[in-house]
């Protein structure tokens, strides 16, 4: 009865072709470059001799320290976003009057939709040692701000910039649990803490994981925040990679760094995910519901 159907993936072909041409192909080329070397002062890359030497170079302490520092900032930033944004998302989804929700969500979205760079510059103005905030602090006897261009400033900027990306999925996750289930839990005699621990949190867990990934992954590659608030001291991997291409003109090393960055992101996300899974094992075990009726009751 039916005429010949298009294959299922037909509608995905345009997107596939686009991504193959402008994502897979260029990234594959960079992957290839990463096995090459820098020939002399004026060349950017050569691939007539292929080796893993650039990766060895990336793993030397000079460069690898930056990887570790970036990962530290990314992990700390993600954890802080979770700790700061979690209660807000919970309040918005569970405790706040439902009629406020639209407004509250808009309040989270406005900073998210303000230009990333401009928001960060706003912090630069606030934190400036000679700015009015600093003067106000001095007026009431506090020391002048001197955190601009330090790791603390970078961390603050990073938490600020990625906080909406944590609040939104957490809000959706907490909201999805729904009032009826919480009510049921309370009706069945669980107190508030128990309801949170055994109903709300386990059901919201996928959203929490999504939020953490949404913050952690872009944060690992971000270097704009560090450039604006960290100056020279807030060195991130992204800055290092960019410098290899823009100033040092060593494309082979830069490519190896870029590939290592992607590997580090995927591996560390997997490790953190695995640790979270292991860490919540007692929780899941305690929450396990045995659906089979006990023998003695059925007998």
Task: Using CB under 8 A, pick the residue from 158, 204, 226, 265 that binds other proteins.
Answer: 265
254 binds other proteins (CB under 8 A): yes
Indicate which single residue of 35, 123, 149, 162 sits in contact with other proteins (rule: CB under 8 A): 123
Instruction: Measure CA 201 to chain center.
Output: 20
Other residues' Cβ atoms within 10 Å of the Cβ of residue 175: 18
Beta strands in 31-157 (DSSP E): none
Rounded-to-10 torsion of CA 145, 146, 147, 149: 130
Give the number of other Cβ atoms within 10 Å of residue 114's Cβ.
11
Among 75, 76, 172, 190, binds other proteins (CB under 8 A): 172
Give the single-character DSSP code of 46: B
How many whole angstroms separate alpha carbon 253 and alpha carbon 249?
A: 9
To other proteins, the closest distance from the beta carbon of 53 in angstroms equals 19
| Contact between residue 115 and residue 194 where contact means Cβ atoms under 8 Å apart | no
22 is an interface residue for other proteins by CB under 8 A: yes
Nearer to other proteins, 151 or 163 (CB): 163
255 binds other proteins (CB under 8 A): yes
- Interface of this chain with other proteins, residues 191 to 210, rule: CB under 8 A: 192, 210
Judged by CB under 8 A, the stretch of 9-17, 57-65, 197-205, 281-289 that binds other proteins is 9-17
Residue of the chain from 36, 169, 230, 234 that contacts other proteins (CB under 8 A): 169
Specify the 3-state DSSP secondary structure of 34. Answer: coil
> How many Cα atoms sit within 13 Å of 208 on the Cβ side?
20
Residue 128 near other proteins by CB under 8 A: yes
Position among 58, 80, 168, 201 found at the interface with other proteins (CB under 8 A):
168
207 within 8 A of 170, measured Cβ to Cβ: yes
Residues between 212 and 241 that touch other proteins (CB under 8 A): 217-218, 220-224, 227-228, 237-238, 241
Decide: is 9 part of the binding site for other proteins (CB under 8 A): yes
């Amino acid at each position: 009865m039916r005429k010949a159907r298009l294959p299922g993936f037909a509608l995905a072909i345009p997107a596939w072709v686009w991504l193959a041409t402008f994502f897979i192909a260029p990234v594959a080329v960079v992957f290839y470059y990463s096995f090459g070397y820098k020939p002399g002062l004026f060349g950017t890359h050569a691939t007539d001799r292929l080796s893993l030497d650039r990766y060895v170079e990336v793993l030397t302490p000079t460069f690898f320290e930056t990887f570790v520092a970036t990962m530290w900032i990314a992990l700390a930033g993600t954890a802080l976003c979770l700790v700061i944004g979690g209660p807000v998302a919970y309040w918005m989804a569970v405790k706040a009057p439902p009629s406020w929700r639209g407004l509250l969500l808009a309040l989270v979205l406005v900073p998210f939709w303000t230009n990333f760079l401009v928001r960060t510059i706003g912090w630069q103005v606030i934190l400036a040692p000679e700015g009015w905030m600093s003067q106000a602090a001095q007026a009431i006897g506090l020391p002048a701000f001197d955190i601009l261009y330090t790791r603390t400033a970078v961390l603050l900027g990073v938490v600020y910039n990625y906080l909406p990306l944590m609040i939104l999925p957490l809000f959706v996750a907490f909201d999805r649990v729904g009032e009826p289930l919480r009510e049921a839990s309370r009706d069945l005699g669980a107190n508030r803490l128990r309801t949170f621990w055994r109903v709300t949190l386990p059901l919201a867990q996928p959203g929490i994981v999504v939020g953490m990934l949404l913050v952690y992954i872009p944060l690992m590659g971000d270097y704009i925040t560090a450039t604006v608030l960290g100056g020279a001291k807030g060195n991130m991997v992204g800055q290092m990679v960019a410098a290899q291409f823009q100033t040092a003109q060593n494309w082979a090393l830069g490519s190896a760094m870029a590939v290592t960055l992607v590997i580090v992101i995927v591996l560390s996300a997997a490790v953190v995910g695995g640790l979270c899974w292991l860490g919540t094992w007692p929780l899941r075990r305690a929450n396990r519901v045995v659906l089979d009726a006990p023998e003695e009751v059925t007998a």
